[in-house]
A = this chain, B = another copy of it.
């Protein structure tokens, strides 16, 4: 899948992944890959800046920890983040309906 299409939807995906529990950056990348059956294999240069954006926006909060000598930055959803996620879900639904009206498989507006 061409990942450029994610433009504007990545933040929502990250929030959705964190909805199930706090994760550190690397684990988020793996979670996205796993839950999408490999379709979403996003590079760190995409994920880390995006997480910083979300933290600046107050949608996630991060805490450092050290696991077997390795530094980890674990992110968790905040309450505003949860609200934002709800908004993103609604936005996604509208987007899906609108675009689907043009690209849906059963969309011919002048069929018969």
Q: Which residues of A contact B (CB under 8 A)?
A: 1-2, 4-9, 12-13, 16-17, 20, 35-36, 39-40, 88-89, 91-96, 98-103, 105, 107-110
By a CB distance below 8 angstroms, the chain B residues around A4 are: 7-8
B103 touches A13 (CB 8 A): yes
CB-nearest residue of chain B to A92:
B103
- In the bound assembly, the distance between CA atoms of A68 and B62 in angstroms comes to 63
- In the bound assembly, the distance between CA atoms of A1 and B8 in angstroms comes to 12
By a CB distance below 8 angstroms, the chain B residues around A98 are: 1, 36, 39-40
B13 touches A2 (CB 8 A): no
A92 touches B99 (CB 8 A): yes
CB-nearest residue of chain B to A89:
B103
29 A–B contact pairs at CB < 8 A? A1-B91, A1-B95, A2-B8, A2-B91, A4-B7, A5-B7, A5-B8, A5-B91, A5-B95, A6-B99, A7-B7, A9-B103, A12-B102, A12-B103, A13-B102, A16-B102, A16-B103, A20-B108, A20-B109, A20-B110, A36-B102, A39-B94, A40-B98, A88-B103, A89-B105, A92-B99, A92-B100, A92-B103, A96-B100
